[in-house]
Structure 1
Amino acid sequence: MKSILPLKSKPLIAFVFILFATTTTYAQRTINDIMDSTVVNHLLIISKKYGSLSFSGYLQPQYQVAQSNGTLAEYQGGNFGEYTSNRFRLRRGRLRADYMLMDDNNNPSTYFVLQFDGTEQGVNVRDFWGRYYENKWKLFYITMGLSGRPFGNELQLSSAGREAPERGRMSQILMRTERDLGVTFTFNPRWKDTKLKNIVFDAGIYNGQGLAGPAEFDNSKDFIFRLSHKTYVIKSIPLSIAGGVSTLQGGLNHRLPVSYKMEQSNQVWRMAKDSSANTINAVAPRRYYGADVQFATTSKSWKTELRAEVISGLQTSTATTSATPGSYPTDSQSVLLPYYTRNFSGAYLTFVQTLNSTDNQLILKYDYYDPNTKVSGMNVNANQGLTAADVRFDTFGFGFLHHFNPHFKAVIYYDMIKNESTEISGYETDRKDNVFTLRTQFYF
């Protein structure tokens, strides 16, 4: 829920408005959401000239139990300590401020967002962006600053509204921290009766490392393009459908005359070394191609939702990880490390079933991430220059979500994590790394 406070108005009017605003429910669905349009319309009555300011926030205390001490649960909220298999955590603590200014024709003109995240590990900025709306043709708007990257569907879903506790392994590896510094140009016709009002085309340019690193560390940028269709209701079924296609074209600049990529010799794939002076300052590619679709029935009491997404392409990282680096990789002695480029693929399927009341939801989710599609099983071994970064993971998750009231909900969820059996040390069989999560969420 959002409580709204006008920047300047008569005290009595402001008081009456605040009482009204506290009865208005607001649910942030995506990380780049703006204020609900019905709230904005009420704000115009008293703060049209000076704009409007609103605050929202949520808190996610949770308790987790891992299958064994020292479980590597980086993608389930962080690894456990060496001698730890259970823990309390404050997964997220968000406080967000939104400001909107309307023009003389009651169209959104300027929008501004600042959001902090505070946990037991510290306080960080999560969003800090501004948006300008072109209102002559009502076709475009531009978003600048630290914001969510417009790629795919799961990456853009807010953690306040997602049913499963965390995004899938694929999403977290390819787009660490979801946000990045850059600019996005968006085409979305806003005329009331236009036939293209549900079509959205985003074109963004970003640093690439996102919040995983302190600053841009090379000259390469990520170019992200997404064409999507907003939710369309097929009244005859009744069923709603939405979806889109996305691509990221980016890379990382080599600083060493050494690089690695997969090559085939005598029908055997191996990680091959390329030593060439021409490698220095060359761009190691990051190329992502994705498609996503979302289905939902229109009923509320027994609503069914199905969301699916697939991404494949080329990913550049290091010998020991497939995750996008936040800074140029070095070893413990600060010696520069070479880049490794791999073909990857990943996907997820999320099923959510509302059980009679909208307060109760059953959650089923499957996702996989294969960081190196050229090899699998026992062909993943150190003799071919491969490491744990080349091991495929499949995750099966299931849980139950209950809304106790409009400001408090809880989910119990279990992740069954399966790695493929390889000849890499520690990954000869499936690791005991399943995780149980009990998460609560307070929000306003």
Structure 2
Amino acid sequence: MRLNFCRPLRHRGQWGYVFTFLLANAFGFQALAQQSTPDSTISRGEGIYSVLKKFENLKFSGYIQPQFQLAQSAGAPNFAGGNFAENSNNRFMLRRGRILLGYTRYFKDELPSVSFVFQFDVTERGVQIRDFFGKIYENKFSKFHLTTGMYPRPFGFEVNYPSAIREAPERGRMSQILFRTERDLGVMLSFEPQRKEDALKNLKIEAGLFNGTGVAAPTDYDSHKDFIGRVSLKPTSIAKKLTLSGSVSHYNGGMRQFGKQIYRLTQTSGGPAFQVDSSESNIGKIATRRYYGADAQLKILNKWGTTELRGEFITGRQPGLATTSEVPLTEPTTDQVMLVNNLPFSRKVALPVYHRKFNGAYFYLVQDIKTNRDQIVVKYDWYDPNQEVKNHEIGRPGSNTTEADIKFSTLGGGYIHNFTNNVRFTVWYDWVKNRSTQLPKYASDYKDNILTIRVMYRF
């Protein structure tokens, strides 16, 4: 559903054509009612054809994902669709309800010249924008295009793998924390040859500048722009029954430090601990947000069907807060109430910024059962938000460490049955494990395993 999503729109779903046909007929019947001469069949046909020509590049698609979930304990925090309510361990929910409108204008030789995509998410939780971007292609060399608007960040594989075809119900914990809602506002230049005979047709290079706060943020609160770059190898046959693809990615950005208190992990006599730096010069500096990532996908054709192996590893530096390793969506401040002349007075105070070194990864095994109508999937992922502190060192008195420093790993697995191209059934179970710490809530493994049963309808 990123940039390359516009090209399949030319062939997606019959419902777009049905809508276009009905719309054209509506215009045709209106024209018929206004005709004063009875033998105007040819002109009416030409009118319908002209309307069809106007709408032939306008396509509609969408899907909904109603599901039932059962958690191991009430109020379980999770990355499988959001935390459960305090007194609930099961729920029905509409995880996603997407409606997409896409338009592509083609140049000669059926090469795109301009396109746009609108995508909305409609659920019981409200209506949100997911994609809102346009692309301009250069048609002299047919190698470059420019993208502006709101679209998925060009980093790694899982962030850009569409929810409509992804085997696991959700992206991993690492992907969700580093790239919340996947999308951001920005501008991007891409090298992606469009001609099939081009020697570099399997190479794709993307580079862009983004707000960094993501679409879940109400605005860009610090004016600092983040750079994201990726070099990708599209699926390429490397042997008779082997297809390989992959990419390397880099994220170079940061967030403004609004206050003077900065925490960094140092080694003390009692063990690793966050130490505060309260220099006035910290105010206004950019806290480093830097990622390095690599991913690969290997498809193997065999007598059992297609076997696919996927993996991705990301490491780097992440600015966050005391209780979360996620970059804040809004200006990191809190209201402080104080007495002035015996009267309560509220003012905004900047929250301390915590600097952490992280790493994380995921690995997929997707096995078709003869055909892709039935699939068995196994996925393992981990996210370690703070490599410099381990297990029982977390929560040690005086260390200033919190649950934001705990390493989590998830082993997930499930069965997928595609009734048709339009209906998919998924049963999935996540075994979520956290390292034991000195924090009371996470002194042992928290009971937060999740069962998900989902039906997806798409057109």
Give the TM-score normalised by the residue count of structure 2.
0.86
Correspondences of 1:388-407 after superposition (within 5 Å): 388-407=403-422
Is 2:131–2:150's contact at 8 Å kept on the other side of the alignment?
yes
Work out which of the residue numbers 48, 55, 61 in structure 2 matches 1:56. Answer: 61
- Alignment-mate amino acid for residue 255 of structure 1: F
Give 1:223-262 correspondences, 5 Å limit: 223-236=227-240, 238-262=241-265
Per-residue deviation at 1:323? 1.4
Contact 1:212–1:325 (CA<8 Å) still a contact in 2? Answer: no
1:204 lines up with 2:208 in the alignment = yes
Partner of 1:426, secondary structure, is helix
Identify if the C-alpha distance between structure 1 residues 48 and 134 changes in structure 2 by more than 3 Å, giving closer, same or farther. Answer: farther
Question: SS at 2:165's partner residue?
Answer: coil
Range that drifts further, 223-232 or 333-342: 333-342
**Which letter maps to 2:388?**
K
Q: Kindly tell me the number of residue pairs found equivalent between the two proteins.
A: 413
Find the residue that maps to 2:375 and give its secondary structure.
strand
SS of match in other structure, 1:137: coil
2:269 and 2:218 map into 1 onto residues whose CA distance is 43
Give the direction of change, closer, same or farther, for the CA distance of 1:49–1:59 in structure 2 (3 Å limit).
closer
1:350–1:10 Cα change, 3 Å:
closer
2:16, 2:61 within 8 Å by CA — same for their partners in 1? no
1:323-349 CA distances to partner (integer Å, 9 max, x unpaired)?
122111233655321211100000000
Q: Which amino acid aligns with 2:16?
A: I
Counterpart CA distance in 1 for 2:373 and 2:449 is: 27
* Amino acid in the other structure paired with 1:64: Q
8 Å Cα contact 1:50-1:101 kept in structure 2: no
The yes-or-no answer on 1:432 pairing with 2:444 is: no
1:262-301 matches, cutoff 5 A: 262-266=265-269, 268-298=271-301
Shift of 1:315: 0.5
Query: 2:13 matched to 1:4?
Result: no
1:409-424 aligned within 5 A: 409-424=424-439
Which SS does the other structure have where 2:332 is aligned?
coil
**Shift of residue 7, structure 1, vs aligned partner:** 7.3
Identity, in percent, stands at 44
Which of 151, 164, 168 is the aligned partner of 1:164?
A: 168
Aligned partner letter, 1:260: Y
Q: Is the 8 A contact 2:384 2:408 kept in 1?
A: yes
User: How has the CA–CA distance of structure 1 residues 84 and 55 changed in structure 2, closer, same or farther, with 3 Å as cutoff?
Assistant: same
C-alpha distance in 1 between matches for 2:160 and 2:59 = 21
> What whole-Å deviation, never above 9, does each CA across 1:284-303 have from its counterpart, x for those lacking one?
00000000000112459611
The whole-number CA distance in structure 2 between the counterparts of 1:315 and 1:193 is 42
In the other structure, the counterpart of 2:75 is: 70
Residue of structure 1 equivalent to 2:305: 302
TM-score by length of 1: 0.89
**Aligned match of 1:25:** none
Contact 2:24–2:52 under 8 Å retained in 1: no
Question: The residue matched to 1:109 in structure 2 has which SS?
Answer: strand
Structure 1 counterpart of 2:330, one-letter code? S
* Distance in 1 of aligned mates of 2:24 and 2:69: 47
SS state of the match for residue 405, structure 1?
coil
Gaps of 5+ in 2: 1-11, 29-48, 337-347
**Aligned equivalents of 1:186 and 1:357: distance in 2?**
35
SS at match of 1:412: strand
Aligned to 1:38: none
Conservation of the 8 A alpha-carbon contact between 1:64 and 1:436: yes
Change (3 A) 1:427 1:346: same
Q: Does structure 1 residue 442 correspond to structure 2 residue 457?
A: yes
Correspondence list, 1:215-226, <5 A: 215-226=219-230
Q: Which amino acid aligns with 1:342?
A: R
Deviation at 1:110, TM superposition (A): 0.5
Deviation at 1:406, TM superposition (A): 1.6
Question: 2:111–2:194: 8 Å Cα contact kept in structure 1?
Answer: no
Residue number in structure 1 paired with 2:345: none
**1:278 partner SS:** helix
Q: Does residue 363 of the first structure (1) align with residue 377 of the second (2)?
A: yes
Q: Deviations over 1:105-140 (max 9, x none)?
A: 432000010011011010011100000001111121
Distance in 2 between the 1:60 and 1:120 partners?
A: 12
| Residue 257 (structure 1) shift | 1.3
Secondary structure of 1:359's aligned partner: strand
CA distance in structure 2 between the partners assigned to 1:346 and 1:120 by the alignment: 32
CA RMSD of aligned residues (A): 2.3
Structure-2 change in CA distance of 1:154 and 1:308 (3 Å):
same
Residue 181 (structure 1) shift? 0.3
C-alpha deviation, 1:45, in angstroms = 12
Deviation of residue 195 (structure 1)? 1.5
Which segment drifts farther, 326-335 or 188-197?
A: 326-335
**How many Å separate the matches in 2 of 1:428 and 1:50?**
60
Q: Which stretch shows the higher mean deviation, 273-282 or 188-197?
A: 188-197
Q: Is the 8 A contact 1:186 1:203 kept in 2?
A: yes
Equivalent residue letter for 2:427: I
Name the residue aligned to 1:35. none
Equivalent in the alignment of 2:333: 330
Letter in 2 for 1:152: G
**Structure-to-structure mapping, 1:78-227, within 5 angstroms:** 78-227=82-231
Aligned residue for 1:303, secondary structure, equals strand
1:380 corresponds in structure 2 to: 394
**Where do 5+ consecutive residues of structure 1 fail to align?**
16-43
